[in-house]
């Protein structure tokens, strides 16, 4: 709202609208109320100026309008918006649903896993207690039987003892916590594979349902139900479309019929059809997956039977991988059961949003109104225009795409959910577009049309008609999701999801902290560090090298280089040398012995010093 309605004001309005509806006995989700508040402000017919701050009177008027629309049970537009909110908040694709199921299972088993991995049994009784917990974990992990049923517990215990006897508990306890968790998962898969093989051999399998047989019956039944509902809503959409076209041609004949209500009913049916197509596509994918699992499961069982036969002992490396493969395939069957149940529940829940059709336009009323009116299906409308196409030479500045000239023509992302781009804004109805007429590429977006004439009119001024479609969506907020206009109303619908799934966009955008790091220099450096441009520096290096020729090789070690690399010192070892003369001779001289007498004085005042030489003569030595 151009920044004028702050978050606090919006929350206040939403809270007051919710309280007012609750006082009238209608408990509505905050998401639905928030969407309705923004849709009412967006509708130009309500005359809310989005460029100025709403006054207190404006907010009271807004609250009253929202409450009135939310409590109007005869409004097809409200039913469509409720359907979109419900589908957006509850639908999940295969990967999301299976990952959520795995997360829930891990959460349920987490206390048991902690009790097993964090225990340190020391006596036999404690060992047996931990082993029994492992049996319980394997049973719950596989989902094949109840822990209160004695037969499945016995089968799991027997199978576990064959691959993990109690004597190996000492080794198991010595493992790290992570290794224990992994071994528990492996043991669960091995035991599950053994039990499935025993069931196949009719030697056990208590508490194990025949999932392949159940799925092979349930999926075709669910697909038929979806097809019937899809055909029914498509027929209703075709009849509404024919009535709307007749009302535009002859308004007097249908004066008692509300044109606006009929359009809203058409949008309601078209949205229901889009959601059913998503569920039908998922059901077809499940059928293909089950068919593939059936083939792989039978092949794996056949290989196991050929290996095992009547042998009393088999090497574990031969059969353990096969048991684990069988367990994985069975988990696939369990996943398909979960997906089928989810799709069935979603389809049943969507039915409630179509109940208003029979109230506003009963079958008898439609039959009488359609007298003399030709009802055309989407397929028939496309067949009528298959022989016509746009003449490219009539448009100098427009780019047209055709099947024979465009790669991946069927994979182009068509705007407005494949409906005619001209009829939405001009006629206010959703007609199927025919790509064979030609796909207009305008500003990197692709548009289809229901007729050649509509294509020519739209191509004259595409921006004008695109804006008309946006204005139409402002009046009918349910068109924002039906026509995939989320990028045009980001302030109304805060995030965009995958267009291929046609999912809504009312959930809050998930956020998380993240960071990235890049290399400073991606390419290897090309700088030559040894290059010198200064000739005096080169002269200095030359002198240094010349001086090194007369130096010893040596090395030194500092505090910074200590313990960082090997250091060595090289020296010249001393050499042994000696001198030889002709004869040996020696000489010796007497040691001089000279004494002084009278230095200390005497009785006379005059000192008389006498020198006494006691050195022996040379000849006496």
Higher pLDDT, 232 or 584: 232
Cα of 558 vs its chain's centroid, Å: 54
Rg (CA), the chain: 47
- How far apart are the C-alpha atoms of 26 and 494, rounded to whole Å? 26
- How far apart are the C-alpha atoms of 549 and 168, rounded to whole Å? 71
Concatenate the DSSP letters of all residues of 542-604 into one string: HHHHHHHTTS-------TTTTTTS------PPP-------S-------PPP-EEEE-TT--SS
User: CA distances (Å), 533 to each of 221, 526, 536, 542, in order?
Assistant: 86, 17, 9, 14
The residues spanned by each domain of the chain are 1-71, 119-201, 211-370, 388-487
374: CB partners within 8 A, 6+ apart: 242
401: pLDDT strictly greater than 70: yes
Using 50, 70 and 90 to split pLDDT, how confident is the model at 381? very high
Higher pLDDT, 71 or 618: 71
- How far apart are the C-alpha atoms of 6 and 8, rounded to whole Å? 5
pTM (2 decimals)? 0.74
Per-residue pLDDT at 312 = 67
Using 50, 70 and 90 to split pLDDT, how confident is the model at 498? very low
Per-residue pLDDT at 507 = 43
User: CA distances (Å), 467 to each of 205, 263, 276, 422, 444, in order?
Assistant: 64, 19, 29, 11, 16
| Of 254, 244, 253, residue with least CA distance to 427 | 244
For the chain, percent of residues with pLDDT exceeding 90: 41
267: pLDDT strictly greater than 80: yes
Per-residue pLDDT at 52 = 67
590: pLDDT strictly greater than 50: yes
Q: Which residues of 310-329 are buried (b: 16+ CB within 10 A; e: fewer)?
A: eeeeeeeeebbebbbbbbbb
Per-residue pLDDT at 282 = 93
User: CA distances (Å), 592 to each of 24, 395, 418, 586, 599, in order?
Assistant: 140, 137, 133, 19, 20
Higher pLDDT, 321 or 491: 321
The helix/strand/coil state of 63 is helix
Higher pLDDT, 601 or 368: 368
Tokens for 167, please give them: 């004597």
Higher pLDDT, 297 or 10: 297
Q: Does domain 211-370 have CATH number 1.20.1260?
A: yes
Contact of 428 with 415, CB cutoff 8 Å: no
The helix/strand/coil state of 510 is coil
Angle value at C-alpha 331, between 328 and 337, nearest 5 degrees: 155
Higher pLDDT, 602 or 321: 321
594-597 and 445-447 strand pairing: unpaired
109: pLDDT strictly greater than 50: yes
- How far apart are the C-alpha atoms of 252 and 619, rounded to whole Å? 169
Using 50, 70 and 90 to split pLDDT, how confident is the model at 553? low
User: CA distances (Å), 346 to each of 92, 98, 100, 230, 271, in order?
Assistant: 10, 16, 17, 14, 14
**What is the per-residue pLDDT across 169-192, written as a single tens digit (0 to 9) for each?**
888 888 898 999 999 999 999 999
Dihedral in degrees, nearest 10, Cα atoms 431, 435, 438, 442? 80
For the ranges 377-391, 483-497, 502-516, the one whose mean pLDDT is highest: 377-391
**What is the per-residue pLDDT across 422-463, written as a single tens digit (0 to 9) for each?**
999 898 899 999 999 999 999 989 999 999 999 999 999 999
The helix/strand/coil state of 399 is strand
Element (H, E) at 401: strand 399-401
Per-residue pLDDT at 181 = 92
For the chain, percent of residues with pLDDT exceeding 70: 90
- Using CB atoms within 10 A of its CB, is residue 543 exposed (0-12), middle (13-18) or buried (19+)? exposed
Tracing tokens 């009547």 back to the chain, one arrives at 310
| Of 268, 254, 233, residue with least CA distance to 373 | 254
Per-residue pLDDT at 279 = 94
**What is the per-residue pLDDT across 57-89, written as a single tens digit (0 to 9) for each?**
888 888 888 888 888 888 899 999 999 999 999
**What is the per-residue pLDDT across 463-480, written as a single tens digit (0 to 9) for each?**
999 999 998 988 888 999
332: pLDDT strictly greater than 90: yes
Per-residue pLDDT at 501 = 40
Per-residue pLDDT at 236 = 93
Cα of 438 vs its chain's centroid, Å: 36
Per-residue pLDDT at 423 = 93
Using 50, 70 and 90 to split pLDDT, how confident is the model at 4? very low
Element (H, E) at 462: helix 462-475
Instruction: Count the residues in the chain.
Output: 621
Neighbours of 49 (CB within 10 A): 11
Q: What does the mean pLDDT of the chain come to?
A: 85
Element (H, E) at 308: helix 259-308
Higher pLDDT, 38 or 52: 38
35: CB partners within 8 A, 6+ apart: 81, 85, 477, 492, 506
497: pLDDT strictly greater than 70: no
Paired strand residues for 441: 399, 446
| Of 87, 89, 136, residue with least CA distance to 108 | 136
Using 50, 70 and 90 to split pLDDT, how confident is the model at 525? confident
Dihedral in degrees, nearest 10, Cα atoms 390, 392, 395, 396? 170
């Amino acid at each position: 709202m151009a920044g004028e309605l702050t978050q606090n004001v919006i929350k206040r309005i939403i809270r007051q609208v919710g309280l007012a509806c609750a006082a009238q006995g209608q408990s509505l989700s905050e998401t639905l109320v928030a969407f309705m508040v923004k849709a009412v402000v967006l509708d130009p017919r309500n005359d809310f100026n989005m460029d100025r701050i709403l006054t207190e009177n404006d907010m009271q008027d807004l609250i009253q309008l929202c409450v009135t629309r939310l409590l109007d049970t005869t409004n097809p537009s409200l039913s469509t918006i409720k359907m979109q909110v419900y589908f957006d908040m509850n639908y999940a694709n295969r990967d999301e649903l299976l990952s959520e199921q795995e997360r829930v299972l891990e959460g349920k088993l987490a206390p048991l896993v902690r009790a097993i991995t964090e225990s340190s049994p020391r006596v036999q009784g404690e060992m047996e207690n931990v082993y029994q917990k492992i049996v319980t974990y394997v049973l719950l992990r596989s989902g094949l039987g109840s822990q209160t049923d004695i037969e499945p517990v016995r089968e799991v215990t027997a199978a576990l003892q064959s691959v993990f006897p109690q004597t190996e508990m000492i080794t198991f306890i010595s493992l790290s916590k992570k290794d224990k968790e992994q071994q528990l998962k492996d043991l669960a898969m091995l035991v599950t594979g053994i039990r499935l093989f025993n069931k196949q051999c009719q030697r056990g399998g208590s508490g194990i349902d025949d999932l392949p047989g159940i799925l092979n019956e349930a999926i075709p039944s669910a697909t038929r139900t979806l097809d019937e509902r899809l055909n029914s809503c498509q027929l209703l959409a075709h009849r509404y479309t024919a009535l709307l076209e007749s009302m535009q041609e002859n308004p007097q004949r249908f004066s008692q019929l509300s044109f606006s209500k009929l359009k809203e009913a058409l949008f309601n049916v078209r949205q229901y059809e889009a959601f059913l197509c998503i569920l039908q596509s998922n059901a077809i994918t499940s059928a293909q997956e089950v068919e593939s699992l059936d083939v792989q499961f039978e092949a794996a069982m056949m290989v196991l039977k050929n290996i095992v036969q009547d042998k009393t002992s088999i090497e574990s490396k031969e059969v353990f991988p096969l048991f684990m493969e069988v367990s994985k395939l069975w988990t696939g069957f369990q996943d398909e059961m979960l997906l089928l149940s989810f799709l069935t529940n979603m389809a049943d829940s969507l039915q409630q949003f179509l109940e208003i059709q029979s109230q506003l336009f009963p079958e008898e009323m439609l039959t009488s109104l359609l007298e003399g009116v030709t009802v055309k299906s989407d397929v028939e409308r496309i067949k009528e225009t298959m022989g016509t196409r746009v003449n490219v030479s009539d448009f100098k500045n427009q780019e047209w795409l055709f099947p024979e000239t465009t790669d991946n023509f069927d994979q182009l992302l068509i705007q407005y959910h494949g409906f005619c781009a001209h009829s939405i804004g001009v006629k206010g109805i959703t007609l199927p577009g025919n790509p064979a007429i030609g796909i207009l590429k305008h500003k990197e977006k692709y548009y289809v049309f229901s007729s050649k004439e509509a294509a020519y009119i739209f191509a004259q001024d595409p921006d004008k008609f695109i804006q008309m479609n946006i204005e139409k969506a402002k009046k009918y907020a349910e068109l924002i999701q039906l026509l995939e206009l989320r990028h045009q109303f980001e302030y109304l619908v805060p995030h965009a999801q995958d267009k291929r799934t046609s999912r809504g966009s009312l959930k809050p955008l998930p956020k998380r902290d993240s960071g990235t790091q890049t290399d400073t220099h991606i390419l290897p450096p090309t700088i030559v560090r040894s290059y010198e441009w200064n000739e005096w520096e080169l002269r200095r290096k030359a002198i240094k090298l010349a001086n090194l020729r007369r130096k010893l090789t040596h090395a030194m070690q500092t505090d910074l280089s200590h313990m960082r690399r090997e250091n060595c010192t090289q020296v010249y070892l001393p050499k042994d040398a000696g001198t030889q003369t002709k004869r040996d001779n020696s000489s010796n001289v007497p040691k001089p012995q000279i004494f002084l007498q009278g230095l200390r004085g005497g009785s006379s005042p005059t000192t008389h010093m006498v020198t006494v030489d006691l050195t022996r003569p040379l000849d006496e030595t």
